Amino acid sequence: MEKKLILAIESSCDETSASVVENGDTVLSNIVASQIKSHMRFGGVVPEIASRHHVEQITQIIEEAMEEADVTYEDLAGVAVTEGPGLVGALLIGVNAAKAVAYAHKLPLIAVNHMAGHIYANKFVHTMRFPLMALVVSGGHTELVYMADDGSYEIVGETRDDAAGEAYDKIGRVLGLPYPGGKAIDQMAHEGQDVYNFPRAMIKEDNYDFSFSGLKSAFINKVHNAQQKGEELNNNDLAASFQASVVEVLVTKTLRAAKEYRVKQLLLAGGVAANKGLREALMKAMKEELPEVELVIPPLSLCGDNAAMIGAAGFVELTKHQFAGYELNAKPGLLLG
């Protein structure tokens, strides 16, 4: 097969990233510049600061990705870029950079949904077999996505309020952890016990939706009540109790969806896919309850935002000759499917 190379660009939030991907499943380069240090002191991502960093970084990052892959623009078959969802000002930087490269080198422009990118990060570890179910858990989204085929997405369940990563980051703030708190809470959870028995919202309901805001409130109430009474709570136990609730709900509903839809594979995706507790619980539950369904989990390096995953999802569009025009715009609220 002829090698098809895609230059992919991702700038939807606080990572500026460019990558060269071969045939949608091999990473030739994947440069990720995180801005997290600039946002940390504000306790969250500041959109204006994000845009400014993207503008400063993007040209350099694209050049680095091309150099590391050791390819020229003439070698490329297309330029893929995240069109949404994300911060509008941040997305626009990537979209305009991609348009400029596509125009200058007469390359097809490919628009990619960020969430599709997270799912396709799994293609670097394993061939995708359909139909499949993907649990996509990030800072902005929590979704169960059914895929009948390449590039086909049906959201069968989603969060009704906070995303899983968002809940982690909010309770991280309550515990005084730097933003984003997800990773630190995951580590603390492994040092503690689930002693506080927080609610498992919607776990028994006959649907595939989630809710994490009640858990967040229960957590905050527990901490505030203890503070008022001058009681000491063990932060590791708090983290372990919070994580036990999130993981149990995610795993239970995901397995139920995988069974119901009779899928061949279950894919984990998104920033929260890096969660050790979630990865372990999902592996154990799948082995015990659904051994016939293949579980695919992305490597830690591809769980967070990166451009390689955009190149993998973009390759599907390239093979279908689904290209974007120069009127392509950022779509902050873009939905999957």
- Judged by CB under 6 A, the number of residues near ligand KG4 is 18
Q: Which amino acid is at 69?
A: A
Instruction: Name which of Zn ion, ligand KG4, none residue 168 binds, using a CB cut-off of 5 to 8 Å depending on partner kind.
Output: ligand KG4
Assess 142 for contact with Zn ion (CB under 5 A).
no
Assess 168 for contact with ligand KG4 (CB under 6 A).
yes
Assess 157 for contact with ligand KG4 (CB under 6 A).
no
By C-beta, is 22 or 305 nearer to Zn ion? 305
Site string for ligand KG4, 304-323 (x = CB under 6 A): xx------------------
In the chain, beta strands by DSSP E: 5-10, 15-22, 26-34, 76-84, 109-113, 132-137, 142-147, 154-158, 265-269, 294-296
Q: Note whether 79 and 109 are within 8 A (CB).
A: yes
Assess 180 for contact with ligand KG4 (CB under 6 A).
yes
By C-beta, is 169 or 317 nearer to ligand KG4? 169
Strand order in the sheet with 294-296: 154-158, 142-147, 132-137, 265-269, 294-296
Site string for ligand KG4, 5-44 (x = CB under 6 A): --------x-------------------------------
Strands 26-34, 154-158: pairing kind: unpaired
Assess 169 for contact with ligand KG4 (CB under 6 A).
yes
Assess 22 for contact with Zn ion (CB under 5 A).
no
By C-beta, is 142 or 254 nearer to Zn ion? 142
Q: Please select the residue that binds ligand KG4; options are 270, 298, 311, 314, rule is CB under 6 A.
A: 270
Of 336, 312, 329, nearest to 80 by C-alpha is 312
Tell me the C-alpha distance between 59 and 80, whole Å.
15
> Which residues within the stretch 290-309 sit at the binding site for Zn ion (CB under 5 A)?
305
CB burial string 210-237: b at 16+ within 10 A, e below: bbbebbbebbeebbeeeeeeeeebebbb
> Which residues within the stretch 211-230 sit at the binding site for ligand KG4 (CB under 6 A)?
none
Q: How far is the CB of 125 from ligand KG4 (least distance, A)?
A: 17
By C-beta, is 168 or 212 nearer to ligand KG4? 168
Q: Which amino acid is at 56?
A: E
Q: Note whether 26 and 1 are within 8 A (CB).
A: no
Our separate counts of H helices and E strands in the chain read 10, 10
Sequence-distant (6+) residues with CB within 8 A of 241 are 192, 193, 194, 195, 196, 197, 198
Q: Which residues bind Zn ion (CB under 5 A)?
A: 138, 305
Q: Which residues bind ligand KG4 (CB under 6 A)?
A: 13, 138-140, 165, 168-169, 180, 182-183, 186, 270-272, 274-275, 304-305
